[in-house]
């Protein structure tokens, strides 16, 4: 089997987060890309659905990213019981 090189530029944060997941799965980036490309061949297309997010979905994604970057501005819970107690107090 001969090999070929693919050079691509990717956002560092995307690459770092993907690498963390792949490490947990025991896969290298090269192995993951190979799996992805083989799935393109097997499915004769992109191996997952691609959708343009609705305005509501886009807004929710932006809010989630904002919360992730500013966790100090939001109440957190370490136990489900604490969350449920807080929710019940809103009634």
pLDDT of residue 90: 85
Amino acid 1: pLDDT: 81
**Architecture of the domain made up of 1-50:** Orthogonal Bundle (1.10)
Which residues, other chains included, contact 18 with Cβ-Cβ below 8 Å and sequence gap of 6+? Answer: 29, 32
Between CA 31 and CA 34 the distance in angstroms is 5
Tabulate helix, strand, coil % of the chain (nearest 5).
60, 0, 40
- pLDDT tens per residue across span 20-72: 999 999 999 999 999 999 999 999 999 999 888 899 999 999 999 999 999 99
> Domain ranges in the chain?
1-50, 55-88
Q: What is the pLDDT of residue 87?
A: 92
Q: What is the pLDDT of residue 8?
A: 94
CA distance 2 to 25: 26
Task: Count the neighbouring beta carbons within 10 Å of the beta carbon of residue 29.
Answer: 13
What is the pLDDT, as a whole number, of residue 79?
Answer: 93
Residue 91 is given by DSSP the state -
């Amino acid at each position: 089997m001969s090999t070929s090189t693919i050079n691509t530029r990717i956002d560092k944060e995307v690459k770092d987060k993907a690498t963390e997941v792949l490490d947990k799965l025991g896969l290298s980036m090269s192995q993951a890309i190979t799996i992805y490309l083989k799935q393109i061949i097997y499915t004769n297309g992109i191996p997952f659905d691609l959708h343009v997010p609705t305005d509501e979905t886009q807004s929710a994604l932006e809010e989630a990213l904002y919360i992730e970057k500013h966790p100090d501005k939001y109440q957190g819970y370490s136990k489900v019981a604490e969350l449920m107690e807080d929710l019940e107090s809103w009634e």
